[in-house]
Structure formats: structure tokens, C-alpha cells
């Protein structure tokens, strides 16, 4: 299966851009549900959402591994929701990356979190309003990710984040969050944010949203996702959006850890060689919108202009 995915991914990446556009005429949206791992019931309900929703799992949480395996069994893409230092001093929960760690410990903590979470395809930051503004720490992070076939999604919990541009500079496949769906959890607000997501996707061809397994969010998405065909958009996981965007390419997809051998698999020389051959130039994404951040253990609330 791993070799088949490599072949399919490689063929897709080598198609001329015009053919790639022809293969998907609809605007694409990616929806990532963060903060999975502490609540089994809400996590399982989130995984049951229709379509190619992506799930980002907090490491070392009571139900993290179980939910990652269940998402994978449903053919959903799994990410690591990596805790990172925030600018407010709020506790991160287990497994976080902090300013107090020297580089060896920082890299060891990252590797442990990747290893602890099965079937990881990519990473995004949990909290991180402090750490993602540090060029040095983001260079440590992205240089470490060169050892794995993983992409990085900048959650943009700070308007001053340098995570995305650092990933681009170091040729790590990367996306950025465009919309937070539920930093207010009322149905009216979630509906407004979902419509913003669709508008942005229709405007620029693609958009990335982050939500959480709140009952109100799940209530809304259970209904809304079944209507996407009528709304003229396609729901895709981050790896597929990266391929369609022709950003620095993700060659291996979905296969990094397995229950049988629960260790992350660094890139082989063959994969590195193929990846290097497929890399294309890219320009940094636009500056993030201004956000007001309220961070607490396992929950990040963001109000963006």
C-alpha cells in the first residue's frame, strides 16, 4: 500500500499544472478538527463526520491513539496537534515544545510525540502563540521535520507567526489556517465562519479551516458537510490540497506510524531524492489576520478580525 501511494502521489505531482486543475474544477476546502484525545465520545462523533475531514490529535492523551486508529480505519487523514509554548504562560499538557528546552531535548520531544501518535501525515500547532513567533525554534522544528514525510499546517494562533514562512524556506510542505470555525460556539457564529470559508475558497480556489469537537460545531458540520456538492466545493485532506496547490510536495501520504511498529519512519534516501526532484519555487503566504488569543489547557480560543 505504501509503495502504491508513492506511485500515485508521484504521478499526480508530475502532471502539468493544467491537467491538475482539470482534475479538480471545484474550489477545495480543508477542515481540520483539533484537540482530539481527551474526550472519547466527542472524538468518535467527530470522526463520524461525512467526507474527508482531517483530525489533529493531542499527543499522550487518554484516547489519542484510539481515536487516531479509528480515524485511519475510516480512511480519514490524521495529524499531530503539537503543543507549543504560548505567550500567556498557560500549561500545555503533556508532550509540549517549550522555550526552556535546548535543541536536543526539543527534537527528542518532537520525535516522541510523532512516535506516540499512529498514522500521522502532518503536524499543526496547539497553542503556540509564543513559540511560533521564534525564528530559531521554528527552524529547529522544520529541520527536524526533514527527517519525516510530514507536512506542517500553521494554525496561526499569533499574527506574528513565522512558522509557515520558515517551513517554505526549508522546503517543508505547508499550509496555513484561513478560518477558525468556532472560537465562538453559537450556531449563528459557526454558520457565519463556514460561509466565510466557502467565500474564501471560491475567491482563491482553496481555503483551510480549523474547528474543534464541540457539540455545536459537530451539530453544524453533520448537516453542512452533506451539502457541499450543492455549494460547489470539494472537501479534501491537507495532503491532497498540497498536491493541487503545487507547493513543496508531500511524497508519502498517511503512512508514518503503524500499530504494529509504533515508531515514526524517517524518509529513505529514495523518497528524499524524489521529493527534491519535485520541489517547486513558492512565495510566502500573506501576513495573517490580527487575532486575539485566549489559551487554556487543551483549548485555544481565537478572535480574529
pLDDT digits (tens, 9 = 90+) for 144-188: 999 998 999 999 999 999 999 999 999 999 999 999 999 999 999
What is the SS3 assignment for 153? strand
pLDDT at 245: 65
For residue 31, list its beta bridge partners.
209
Element holding 274 (H helix, E strand): helix 269-278
Stronger pLDDT, 150 or 20, i.e. the higher one: 150
Side-chain half-sphere CA neighbours of 81 within 13 A:
31
According to DSSP, residue 52 is labeled: S
Judge if pTM exceeds 0.95. Answer: no
pLDDT tens per residue, range 80-90: 999 998 888 77
For 248, the grid coordinates are 513543496
Count of domains for the chain: 1
Q: Which domain holds residue 257?
A: 2-304
pLDDT at 93: 85
Stronger pLDDT, 302 or 79, i.e. the higher one: 79
According to DSSP, residue 85 is labeled: -
For residue 125, list its beta bridge partners.
82
CATH number at residue 221: 3.20.20.370
Amino acid at each position: 500500500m505504501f509503495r502504491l501511494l508513492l506511485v500515485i502521489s508521484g504521478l499526480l505531482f508530475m502532471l502539468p499544472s493544467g491537467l491538475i486543475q482539470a482534475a479538480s474544477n471545484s474550489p477545495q476546502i480543508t477542515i481540520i478538527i483539533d484537540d482530539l484525545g481527551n474526550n472519547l465520545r466527542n472524538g468518535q462523533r467527530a470522526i463520524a463526520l461525512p467526507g474527508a475531514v482531517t483530525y489533529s490529535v493531542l499527543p499522550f492523551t487518554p484516547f489519542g491513539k484510539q481515536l487516531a486508529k479509528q480515524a485511519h480505519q475510516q480512511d480519514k487523514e490524521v495529524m499531530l496537534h503539537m503543543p507549543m509554548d504560548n505567550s500567556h504562560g498557560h500549561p500545555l499538557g503533556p508532550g509540549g515544545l517549550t522555550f526552556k528546552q535546548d535543541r536536543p531535548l526539543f527534537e527528542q520531544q518532537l520525535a516522541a510525540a510523532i512516535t506516540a501518535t499512529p498514522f500521522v501525515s502532518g503536524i499543526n500547532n496547539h497553542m503556540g502563540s509564543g513559540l511560533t513567533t521564534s525564528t530559531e525554534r521554528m527552524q529547529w522544528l522544520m529541520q527536524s521535520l526533514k527527517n519525516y514525510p510530514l507536512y506542517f499546517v500553521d494554525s496561526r494562533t499569533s499574527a506574528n507567526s513565522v512558522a509557515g514562512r520558515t517551513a517554505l524556506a526549508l522546503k517543508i510542505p505547508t499550509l496555513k489556517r484561513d478560518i477558525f470555525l468556532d472560537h465562538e460556539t453559537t450556531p449563528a457564529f459557526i454558520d457565519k465562519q463556514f460561509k466565510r470559508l466557502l467565500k474564501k475558497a471560491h475567491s482563491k480556489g482553496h481555503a483551510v479551516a480549523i474547528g474543534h469537537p464541540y457539540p455545536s460545531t459537530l451539530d453544524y458540520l453533520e448537516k453542512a458537510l452533506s451539502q457541499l456538492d450543492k455549494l460547489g466545493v470539494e472537501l479534501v485532506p491537507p495532503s491532497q490540497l498540497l498536491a493541487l496547490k503545487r507547493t513543496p510536495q508531500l511524497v508519502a501520504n498517511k503512512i508514518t506510524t503503524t500499530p504494529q511498529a509504533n515508531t515514526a519512519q524517517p524518509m529513505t534516501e529514495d523518497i528524499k531524492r524524489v521529493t527534491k526532484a519535485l520541489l517547486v519555487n513558492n512565495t510566502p503566504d500573506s501576513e495573517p489576520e490580527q487575532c486575539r488569543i485566549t489559551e487554556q489547557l487543551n483549548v485555544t480560543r481565537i478572535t480574529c478580525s
